[in-house]
Amino acid sequence: MLKIFPTLKHLNLPNLITAFSLGAGLSAYLLFSQESYQPALVLYALALLSDRLDGMAARRLQLETEFGRELDSLADVVNFAVLPALMAYSLGFKGLPAGGALYLYALSGLWRLANYNLEGLVKVRGKNCFTGLCTTHAGALVFLALILYLAFFRGGPLSFCYPLFILLALLMNSSFRYDKNGWFTKSLYVLIPAAIITGLLRI
């Protein structure tokens, strides 16, 4: 089998989790575009969770590889740079100015991930820190905003998307640093489940 499909040599649990994350993200978008919002919310939350679990599994099983890092980065481009923009578009955030904001967000996510692959995390007072907002967190913030919109303001204007996408685009490639496992990251572990429950009850 490896003679025919040599890339199967990279098949392991962490990379399977990354593959699942990509599938969950794409499925979430397809359901979202069909206005099947509740299952879409659950699947996108699984994509976010899987992005955390693949790295944990790789470290725990000592399966960290260059292939795995590249695969994870490519999945992040789709799940957290491209799909949030497409979800907003499917809700009606359209037109030339809106398209510009969405393009800026997607490009910024792509640019940040390329730079992160070169520079990685930085140490600040003994803690692993991101430089600029990581794409996963940016995608999670868009996800939270869209859930709140659907739950409480559905059918209203989407003008909030302009500052949201532009600000996140700027933050992703800015110089500010924050703890990878600090309060902001941990707060998302609470906010995302709470938002999903709210969405499932109200959407």
CATH of residue 133: 1.20.120.1760
Tokens of 137: 């967190």
User: How many domains is the chain partitioned into structurally?
Assistant: 1
Rounded to an integer, what distance in angstroms lies between the CA atom of residue 134 and that of residue 2?
Answer: 35
33 lies in some domain: yes
Query: Which domain covers residue 45, as residue numbers?
Result: 10-202
Q: From residue 117, how far is each of 71, 133, 162, 198 by CA, in Å?
A: 11, 14, 28, 36
159 is a domain residue: yes
One-letter amino acid of 78: V
List, for residues 109-121, the tens digit of each pLDDT value: 999 999 999 999 9
DSSP state of 203: -
Integer Cα distance of 76 and 54 in angstroms: 12
| pLDDT tops 80 at residue 2 | no
Give the residue-averaged pLDDT of 95-109. 97
CA 192 to each of CA 33, 65, 82, 165: distance values in angstroms, whole numbers, following the listed order? 20, 29, 19, 19
Is 54 within the bounds of a domain? yes
Model pTM?
A: 0.94
pLDDT number for residue 3: 77
Is residue 3, in this structure, part of any structural domain at all? no
pLDDT, one tens digit per residue, over 120-142 is: 999 998 899 999 999 999 999 99
> Is residue 37 in some structural domain?
yes
Q: What pLDDT was estimated at residue 33? A: 95
Residue 115 lies in a domain: yes
Note whether residue 1 is domain-resident.
no
Compute the chain's Rg from CA coordinates: 17
Q: How far is CA 187 from CA 82, 88, 126, 184, 192, in A?
A: 24, 23, 21, 5, 9
Pairwise CA distance, residues 114 & 97, whole Å: 26
Distance (Å, rounded) from C-alpha 92 to C-alpha 188?
26
CA distance 74 to 136: 12
